[in-house]
Amino acid sequence: MHYLLISFSHKNTDIKTREKLAFNSNEKLENFLNKLINYKSINEAIVLSTCNRVEIILSTKEVFNTTEFVITELSYYSKISKDELEGRADIFEDTGAIHHLFSVSSSLDSLVVGETQISGQLKDAFNFSYERKYCSQKLSRAMHYAFKCAASVRNSTDISKNPVSVASSAVAKAKDVLGGELGGYTGLVVGAGEMSQLTAKHLINSGCNVIFINRDLKKAQEIANELGSLVSVEPISKLKELINRYRLLFSATGAPHTVIYQDMVEEKSFKRHWFDIAVPMDIDDINGFDIDIYKVDDLQDIVNKNLALREEQARLAYSIVGRFSAEFFKWLQTLAVDPIIKELREQAKNSSQESLNKAIKKGYIDESQREAVTKILHSSFNKFLHSPTIKLKNISEEPIADSIVEAVKFIFDIDAEYKMLDSYKCEYAKGEKEN
């Protein structure tokens, strides 16, 4: 079994290409996962799709042909040539795949290093695959260790203190272009998803009024009620009127197409600043008006400042990722069922042999009976261990096996140096999520 990770991110892929690769509906994502799982070499699959990256995370029997298959299927899906995708993709195998996964979960590979949103997105991607049986034990182990690594990075470094996300970067850019303050301004926020809510929170913290524009007015109003008196709600039918009334616009819908077009825009006497933080993009190419349009990739200058401030913390964080990557593979070696069964049999054999030697020494059994008694003892402990052996082998590929194996190791004092039950607490260890 191999871990394989195929990565398209802001590091190797421009926003136009990422738009085509993005899975912007559960139906498209599930269809793609079905294709992956039905391929002969792929055991398990998870797809992480965000505005800044698409990560294909796999457990596979074989790497080369699997990579070819995934790139080909992505080419069919995105309508991007296979040659271009092969040229852009970062491909990681085994230790490299785990190190990259842990780096992503710890937000070290993010557009804004230290942002906390990626960990939640990765958990959502994992849960989506797990609940639909696209992934099981192999990727569950890697994902839970990734979350543990991310928690250690957050707790051991300052890399996520005053976190900077794409949403907060957009608001910071707005403050910069408007002279440092947003008090008294009104910001339009199109959409009511997680990115829109984050944007609204940053605007409110800067003293800016917020108008939510969304198709689902009930959902938008519920969010507005939670965020407070600076937030109001307008229907999507007023979008054209509102974008021509206010300076600031932040758009982050989940629409598969643009929602703001050239013919919606009117000439105004004031300069407007629009932030398109959606993938696919929400705002069409607008020409002939005094409007600055910032896309996700245009926030790179803020990102660079953030990177400079966090460089020392990032080095510390990468050392943690490296340590967790090494520990993960060391820990995997302790989970094999066959060595556990062998050790149990060895312990039973040694114990029976020790008792037999004592019995002969004390005269309870004659030396001439050693061979016959040995056969009886051997048959006895084989019979005793038969059921546990079968059960261990039967559950060896299930997520629950990890906890059971660790418990057996603890009870029988097997490989005591590497007991890790307390440090590996899988929320699916009993076959169901914790609430």
Report DSSP letters for 283-323, one per residue.
B----SSSEEEEEGGGGHHHHHHHHHHTHHHHHHHHHHHHH
- Using an 8 Å Cβ cutoff, are 279 and 51 in contact? yes
> 79: left (phi > 0), else alpha (psi -120 to 50), else beta?
left
The dihedral over CA atoms of 246, 249, 253, 257, expressed in degrees to the nearest 10, equals 90
Residue whose entry in the numeric block shows the structure tokens 């590091």: 11
Write down the catalytic residue from 51, 135, 149, 208. Answer: 51
Residue whose entry in the numeric block shows the structure tokens 């079905």: 34
Is residue 208 part of the annotated active site? The answer reads no
- Nearest-5° Cα angle at 431, 425 to 435: 70
Burial of 15 (0-12, 13-18, 19+ CB in 10 A): middle
- Token readout for 163 is 């976190």
| Neighbouring C-beta atoms of residue 323, cutoff 10 Å | 13
d(CA 145, CA 313): 21
d(CA 3, CA 5): 7
d(CA 155, CA 176): 31
d(CA 154, CA 166): 19
Total length of the chain: 435
Cβ-proximal residues to 310 (8 Å cutoff; 6+ apart), any chain = 113, 114, 158, 159
| Neighbouring C-beta atoms of residue 197, cutoff 10 Å | 18
Long-range contacts of 348-355 (CB under 8 A, 24+ apart): 348/381, 348/384, 348/385, 349/378, 349/381, 352/377, 352/378, 352/380, 352/381, 353/377
- Token readout for 116 is 């906390």
Give the residue numbers annotated as catalytic, written as ranges. Answer: 51
